[in-house]
Structure 1
Amino acid sequence: MTLGRSAWQAIEPLHAMIYFVPEAKDRFEALGLDAGSGYFASRSAAFGEASAETVIATFYNFNPAFIRRCIPAAWEKASPAQVLAARLEAADAALRRGLGDLVASDELVELAALTRKAAEAACERLEGRPLFAAHAALPWPTEPHLQLFHAQTLLREFRGDGHLAALLTAELTGLEALVVHAATGYLPASSLRKTRQWSEDEWAAAVTVLQERKIVEQGEELALTEAGAALRQGIEDHTDRLAEPAYSALGESGVNRLVELGKPLSRAIVEAGMLPHLKKK
């Protein structure tokens, strides 16, 4: 496992929770934004008043019609600055709830410093990473738990932009990439299709294309072929390589320390039920 993958897996819940917690939902609703609009607006607000086309390009696997229903209409209800403020307020409240006493711990302060060092190293490699670059221009929060959230946001988008490059290299459309993901069995195809707002006919058409390319096979369950598994692994390996510049700044010992510090904090988030697709342990 690469340095970047081990670090990402250890602390991803500290960012990913923002897409599920009621603290975010309530604040976006107060701005007049429903679930879809709140998601697209909050993640793209760093661009300013992003167009639907910008969101389609940088979010990759959502149905463009879904995005166009939400963007740019969201900006008529709330400014990007308001959305960004609401998101940070939500992160503050959610992390305080999920982490409890850990939110003021020395371990969190140390982890925040490590992730910030990695994120700032990533800022030296802006080229080809538009969503990351937009977030990199935002000011750093002052409190350690919010610095940790911001740093992990940057690292997540840095990795994500690299992942899109890997998907493009593999010649997968957004929907096809989603079908390949479903074929790994990590998340149900029905859930991925529904949350990204693809119709059953659109999904079936993409499955047919991927069957013709010998990437997936459809029996009782959708599954990867041997060639498809190799393609998927290649995409993940490519993504890992592109994420390495951030974590190489920490070195092996620094990443190991990040993982050691991050796992208990991430476990607290999961055990608080803040990531419903993950089982509490």
Structure 2
Amino acid sequence: MAAEPPAGPDPAAVRLAWRAVEPLHGLIYFASEAHERYAALGIPQPMGYFATRAAALGPVGPGPVAATFYNFNPALIARVLPAAWSRTTPAAAAAARLAAADAALTRALGEAIHGPELAEAAHLARRAAEDATAHCGGRPLFAAHAELPWPEAPHTVLWHAQTMLREFRGDGHVAALLVAGLSGLEALVMHTASGEIEERFLRISRGWSRDEWAAAVAGLRERGLLAPGPDAAALSDQGRTLRAEVEASTDRLATPAYAGIGAAGCARLAELARPLSRTVVKAGLLDPEKALAASR
């Protein structure tokens, strides 16, 4: 019998808090401020993405990054790492990422970055992120980010806390995918087959060719996880069940981080973050087409 994670709030409350805050972290993958700062360091996209997100691990090569990021083509990673470390250092890369988040949030949120709502959200998110450090086992990417220094301004504290919580959740998601017997590429195919996101963005941004993608589709169809037929991939009943199990496991594994703030804290964090995240979205800071253009 698999061991249960430490108790925390209801997984639905945790998922609500994470989703409400996530745009405030996710802008780092799309904002022009990030692309410009990475290019100034000599690590333009996609090198900048891999180097800055992996910077917490130190000057690593492609192996650990492919293992922890999980759904990227290892060949794509090998084209940029460890080459990035001949151009910059992990410390400089991490600093550039934080500076980009600072600038992008300042541009999007304006005076709201000085407001009491953001300060309260930062306090709640930081408490959850710090509580999560008691559960580093099996979470290498989170553990590495947990050793980075905390910034001072509330909006960057909120960004850094959500970065840690995202990697905490992500490490748990990888564990759930491994238990489900899904490779990173297969997980991407299953995601697009759910209808929640289009194939083009995930396939191109993760570095997979059409042939590699098609082979993964065929393999999942053979396993009964995708509906048969020549049309676009769609989940079968078995595939929907497996994907729901993976998501439920991911939610459950994320709950220990939020035990300290509890269900009430999760609800309050979501309430505080939701209007801030909407502002970021309306400002156009999560446009996938801009991210694809920057990586070419």
- How would you bin the TM-score normalised by the shorter chain? over 0.9
Distance 1:204 1:255 in 2: 40
- Matched residue, 2:286: 275
- Matched residue, 2:158: 148
Q: Contact (CA 8 Å) 1:10, 1:262: kept in 2 or not?
A: yes
- 1:265 paired with 2:292, answer no
- 1:157 paired with 2:167, answer yes
Distance 1:191 1:157 in 2: 21
| C-alpha deviation, 1:221, in angstroms | 2.2
Distance 2:106 2:65 in 1: 30
- 1:241 paired with 2:252, answer yes
In the alignment, which of 217, 223, 229 is matched to residue 234 of structure 2? 223
Q: Alpha-carbon deviations, 1:110-166, whole Å to 9, x = none? A: 000000010011110000000000000011111111110110000000000000000
Amino acid at match of 2:193: A
Distance 1:204 1:81 in 2: 39
Distance 1:185 1:253 in 2: 32
Q: What SS does structure 2 have at the residue aligned with 1:116?
A: helix
Q: 1:1-281 maps to which residues of 2 (within 5 A)? A: 2-217=12-227, 218-277=229-288
Distance 1:252 1:206 in 2: 39
Distance 1:88 1:204 in 2: 37
Q: Alpha-carbon deviations, 1:98-121, whole Å to 9, x = none? A: 111111001000000000010011
Select the structure with the greater relative contact order (CA < 8 A; seq sep ≥ 6): 2
| C-alpha deviation, 1:190, in angstroms | 2.0
Q: Give TM-score scaled by structure 2 length.
A: 0.92
| C-alpha deviation, 1:219, in angstroms | 4.2
* Number of residues of Structure 1 aligned to a counterpart in Structure 2: 278
Cα RMSD for the two superposed structures: 1.1
Q: What SS does structure 1 have at the residue aligned with 2:79?
A: helix
Distance 2:207 2:36 in 1: 22
Percent identity between matched residues is 55
Q: Alpha-carbon deviations, 1:63-106, whole Å to 9, x = none? A: 11100001100111110011011111101100000111111001
Q: Which runs of 5+ in 1 are unaligned?
A: none
- Deviating above 4 A after TM superposition, structure 1's stretches of 4 or more consecutive aligned residues are none
Judge which range, 147-156 or 244-253, deviates more.
244-253
Q: Contact (CA 8 Å) 1:111, 1:258: kept in 2 or not?
A: yes
Distance 1:263 1:133 in 2: 27
Distance 1:47 1:206 in 2: 30
Amino acid at match of 1:160: G
Q: Give TM-score scaled by structure 1 length.
A: 0.97
Q: Contact (CA 8 Å) 1:18, 1:91: kept in 2 or not?
A: yes
Q: Contact (CA 8 Å) 1:111, 1:262: kept in 2 or not?
A: yes
Q: Contact (CA 8 Å) 1:3, 1:247: kept in 2 or not?
A: no
Judge which range, 183-192 or 105-114, deviates more.
183-192
| C-alpha deviation, 1:277, in angstroms | 4.5
Distance 1:70 1:13 in 2: 26
Q: Which runs of 5+ in 2 are unaligned?
A: 1-10, 290-296
Q: Contact (CA 8 Å) 1:175, 1:206: kept in 2 or not?
A: yes
Amino acid at match of 1:191: F
Distance 2:239 2:111 in 1: 45
